[in-house]
Structure 1
Amino acid sequence: MNQAGNNATERRATLYRMVMHDHVCPFGLKSKALLERKGFEVDDRWLTTREETDAFQEKHSVDTTPQTFIGGERIGGYDELREYFGKPAPDPEATSYRPVVAIFSTALLLALATSWTATHSLLGLRTLEWFVAFAMCLLGLQKLKDLESFSNMFLNYDLLAQRKVRYAYVYPFAETLAGILMVAGALVWLAAPVALFIGTIGAFSVFKAVYIDRRELKCACVGGDSNVPLGFVSLTENLVMVLMGIWMPLRVYVLQL
């Protein structure tokens, strides 16, 4: 932490933030919460109109609010306040596996919950199937939330999409549909070929882009706004779909489990 933050005479901060009828600044709320966590008494001053906000910005020669003052010194906005307390501002371009961890953790918990409800057991063969199926649904949903961004990133490496651009728009629907059907264990004759097809194309595409062409790309597996590198995660996603595409009809029609 900045040494100034430890000075007992500077445990009071003045915060100017926008609090209007139709808008409450989220960064102002974050700044206030951060100051309070650090033990500061906050003189919370609201800017309640656009005119009042503009006048404040002009007076202090700043372009944004909130603005925090400590000991008469202007610290700045929320990112500058984080830096003041030794917390680096998050880099929007930094690699992060957090979305992947969140999706697969949620899929696992859903699978365990479903297994407990259906069989009164946490672990079983169906638990693993539900885990994969739920993961497919969640990954498909991430792609569907912004089809244009997903398609732009997907077209960088998918071999079929580069030949048939519409496939980039179909893929998220196909993955989600296959996942839903596998959760239900229904229409396996449809779900399995879909998973097998998109998984095989995807695996070949990722392998070629990463391990043959040695390209450094972002993975579209968790949507078009992710900072997950293309590689192991996407390859695993596709290989698991291939395995599910083979296993599901084998279990239902051959082994009859």
Structure 2
Amino acid sequence: MPEQLATGAPKASLFRMVMPSHICPYGLKSKNLLERAGYAVEDHHLKSREETDAFKRQHQVETTPQTFINGSRIGGHDELRRFLGKPVADPDATSYRPVVVLFALTALMAAAVSYAVAGTPFTVRALEWFISFSMVALALLKLQDVERFSTMFLNYDLLARQWVPYSYIYPYAEALAGLLMISGAFMWLSVPIALSIGTVGAVSVFKAVYIDRRELKCACVGGSSNVPLGFVSLTENLMMVAMAVWMLVSRVMFPVA
């Protein structure tokens, strides 16, 4: 049983870096975890690099913060989470969370703009904006580190493998097509861009995943994601193709007055 204070609350000792130029964020998280779990925290500040290094040598640890309960070392932030029965994220685990969050927010953005313009979130234009906003948001993620994106993209895109500069052009082309489709301007430019990059992308993903059966990470949300290549990237490209065809039919071939 954890050591009890006079108040009845179990006690924990936390050693964390608190310096004029740096306050350890994991120390703050550990303190919060302990307090939420009902512990009275003896909060020990390591106020200099020398003090921190001496603490690590004394306890033969490589990192801080460190939590102690009943005189026993629990460990750092991740070990504390495990001790308290909380999940610890695996940085290498695949996850669809970034994509789900992105599409949820772009859908809400489209609904909000539709409501502001038409007084209702449920319009055809809202659906168009959802796809266009998604294209721009996905391009933005790719452009955060275009070098890493291009490296991952070259693993499966058929055109990029034949012409490497395309791996750098792709996110800019996606952003441009999305922006033009948001505005409804220059359909003669946005439609062929979206149609061409979407078609090549869909064929590339389908071949890599469903024909060659390769297990790859998707470059759709940037080069540092753990989203598996497959349904998400295929959906992204098919959305661009569908949007291009819709814009071609509704705005160019049969425009509504």
TM-score, structure 2 normalization: 0.95
- Superposed, 1:133-144 pairs within 5 Å as 133-144=132-143
| Distance in 2 of aligned mates of 1:253 and 1:161 | 30
Distance 1:15 1:218, change over 3 A: same
Contact 1:68 1:81 in 2 (8 A): yes
More displaced, 203-212 or 79-88? 79-88
Alignment gaps of 5+ in structure 2: none
Contact 1:5 1:85 in 2 (8 A): no
Contact 2:64 2:76 in 1 (8 A): yes
| Distance in 2 of aligned mates of 1:183 and 1:92 | 35
Which residue identity is paired with 1:233? V
Q: SS state of the match for residue 200, structure 1?
A: helix
| Correspondence for 2:180 | 181
Post-superposition Cα deviations, 1:139-194, rounded to whole Å, max 9, x if no partner, equal 11111111111111111000011111111111111111111111111111111111
Q: CA deviation at 1:10?
A: 7.1
- Superposed, 1:91-170 pairs within 5 Å as 91-170=90-169
Post-superposition Cα deviations, 1:64-104, rounded to whole Å, max 9, x if no partner, equal 00000111111000000011011232111111000010100
| Distance in 2 of aligned mates of 1:105 and 1:5 | 43
RMSD (CA atoms): 1.5
Which residue identity is paired with 2:248? P
| Distance in 1 of aligned mates of 2:42 and 2:97 | 35
Q: SS state of the match for residue 210, structure 1?
A: helix
Contact 2:9 2:40 in 1 (8 A): no
| Correspondence for 2:221 | 222
| Correspondence for 1:207 | 206
The alignment of Structure 1 onto Structure 2 pairs a total of residues equal to 254
| Distance in 2 of aligned mates of 1:244 and 1:114 | 18
Q: SS state of the match for residue 94, structure 2?
A: coil
Contact 1:10 1:71 in 2 (8 A): no
Contact 2:9 2:38 in 1 (8 A): no
Contact 2:187 2:252 in 1 (8 A): no
Q: SS state of the match for residue 118, structure 1?
A: helix
Seq. identity, %: 60
Q: CA deviation at 1:28?
A: 0.6
TM-score, structure 1 normalization: 0.95
